[in-house]
């Protein structure tokens, strides 16, 4: 049987299985679970997660022994296409399946993989990310959080900021200094920490959108197992950088290791803008200036998607290399531009914060516009990504 015929058979089997097993309640827009035990799931979402986990399709490319289905890259692409065809939401997302899970597959010991990966694949616990600190953001190697060995445990003290979703997370992977006498890029370890203990304190950071997905997380004599250092003691800088590639790949929509999620909607922006400004006599968007800007936005968005697809097809590793920075950055900027465009079309309706004068959709659009400002900060700032692209992709001199 040729590869083409094998893929055709896989597509047919996948389509039939999805038709029989995908609940109606998970088709269309809506939240995607990320494993947090603090969040209750509706019946259809829980059923979808359990069925896909049993099939191995929450993490399709992972080894079967760890909860995956060992799909090839070509089969993975077919699965994503078939999910999109019926508008099915991914069954699971988050830092477990997309960040720390793939990192454990590369750097974890056999015992760590057996302990953590099957639960991650089933969505049994949501993860936060403990990297940035008040004095160590872009210069992450200056981090001051300490992890001191005490027998078979580590004792952590320090503070992390921008720990997204930490208020509802069950675990956190933390970069901590384990050998302060070594140079700053050395002597750092990546440690897995249970957040359900008295020594972990979470404080929300309120954003301009009014939401608080970001937090500061304090460690006051928090404990972790010494066996839960990923990649070995003092090797956290190497392991942590690899995890950042998985993070940026996820933000860019080119994750080929964890749970590839997200669906593009080409028409949503145009429909919302037309609802605001109407059509002219020729059936075109009535505002010529906005129309031109929308066309440019759509062209850039299409080019970005083609680049994203090319990177996926050229990637042989579990995550793209430095090219993920380029795809992540252009995707973030395009999203911000489209949100600005929508608010310009809304006029005064786009500046509301509360009150009966504004529709719920208007208020949500304003908050979306504010939330999207974080896209060029989260997962590596715009400036950091530009530096990576200049040095690692374009090979420009320092």
Mean of pLDDT values over 249-253: 74
Sign of CA dihedral 218, 224, 230, 232: positive
Specify the pLDDT at position 86.
95
d(CA 268, CA 246) in angstroms, rounded, equals: 29
Active-site entry in 38, 216, 247, 356: 247
Q: Which residues have CB under 8 Å from 179's CB, separation 6+? A: 186, 187, 233, 234
Residue pair 128/161 in contact (Cβ under 8 Å)? The answer is: no
Q: What does the DSSP 8-state code read for residue 88?
A: B
Q: Which band of pLDDT confidence, cut at 50, 70 and 90, is reported for residue 38?
A: very high
Residue pair 164/184 in contact (Cβ under 8 Å)? The answer is: no
Highest mean pLDDT range out of 80-94, 111-125, 281-295, 354-368? 111-125
pTM of the model as a whole? 0.83
Per-residue pLDDT tens digits for 96-144: 999 999 999 999 999 999 999 999 999 999 999 999 999 887 788 999 9
d(CA 157, CA 219) in angstroms, rounded, equals: 5
Q: Is 124 a catalytic residue?
A: no
pLDDT-wise least confident of 157-166, 254-263, 308-317: 254-263
How wide is the angle at C-alpha 162 spanned by C-alphas 168 and 203, nearest 5°? 55
Per-residue pLDDT tens digits for 63-91: 999 999 999 888 988 998 999 999 999 99
Query: 10 Å Cβ neighbour count for 309?
Result: 14
d(CA 39, CA 103) in angstroms, rounded, equals: 25
d(CA 34, CA 366) in angstroms, rounded, equals: 25
Per-residue pLDDT tens digits for 317-337: 566 667 777 878 888 889 899
- pLDDT, mean over the chain: 90
Choose between 179 and 275: higher pLDDT. 179
| Residue 361, CA atoms < 13 Å, CB-side half-sphere | 7
Specify the pLDDT at position 331.
83
333-360 burial, b if ≥16 CB within 10 A, otherwise e?
A: bbbbbbbebbbbbbeebbeeeeeeebee
């Amino acid at each position: 049987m040729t590869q083409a015929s094998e893929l055709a058979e896989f597509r047919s089997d996948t389509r039939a299985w999805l038709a029989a097993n995908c609940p109606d309640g998970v088709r269309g827009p809506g939240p995607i679970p990320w494993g947090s035990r603090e969040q209750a799931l509706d019946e259809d979402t829980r059923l979808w997660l359990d069925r896909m986990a049993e099939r191995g399709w929450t993490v399709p490319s992972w080894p079967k022994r760890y909860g995956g289905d060992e799909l090839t890259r070509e089969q993975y692409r077919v699965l994503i296409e078939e999910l999109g065809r019926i508008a099915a939401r991914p069954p699971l997302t988050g830092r477990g399946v997309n960040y720390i899970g793939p990192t454990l597959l590369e750097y974890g010991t056999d015992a760590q993989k057996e302990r953590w990966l099957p639960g991650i694949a089933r969505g049994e616990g949501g993860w936060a990310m403990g990297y940035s600190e008040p004095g160590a953001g872009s210069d992450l190697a200056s981090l001051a959080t300490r992890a001191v060995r005490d027998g078979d445990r580590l004792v952590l003290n320090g503070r992390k900021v921008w720990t997204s979703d930490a208020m509802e997370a069950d675990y956190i992977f933390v970069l901590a200094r384990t050998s302060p006498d070594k140079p700053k890029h050395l002597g750092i370890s990546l440690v897995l920490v249970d957040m359900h203990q008295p020594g972990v304190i979470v404080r929300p950071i309120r954003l301009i959108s009014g939401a608080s997905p970001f937090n500061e997380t304090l460690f006051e004599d928090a404990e972790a197992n010494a066996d839960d250092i990923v990649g070995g003691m003092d090797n956290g800088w190497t392991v942590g950088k690899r995890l950042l590639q998985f993070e940026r790949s996820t933000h860019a929509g080119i994750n080929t290791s964890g749970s590839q999620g997200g669906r593009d909607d080409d028409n949503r922006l145009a429909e919302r803008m037309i609802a605001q400004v109407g059509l002219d006599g020729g059936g075109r968007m009535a505002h010529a200036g906005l129309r031109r800007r929308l066309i440019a936005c759509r062209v850039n968005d299409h080019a970005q998607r083609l680049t994203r697809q090319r990177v996926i097809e050229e990637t042989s590793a579990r995550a793209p290399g430095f090219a993920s920075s380029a795809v992540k950055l252009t995707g973030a900027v395009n999203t911000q531009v489209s949100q600005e465009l929508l608010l310009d079309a809304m006029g005064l309706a786009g500046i509301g914060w509360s009150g009966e004068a504004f529709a719920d959709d208007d208020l949500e659009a304003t908050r979306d516009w504010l939330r999207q400002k974080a896209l060029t900060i989260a997962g590596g700032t715009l400036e950091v990504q530009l530096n990576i692209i200049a040095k690692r992709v374009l090979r420009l001199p320092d």
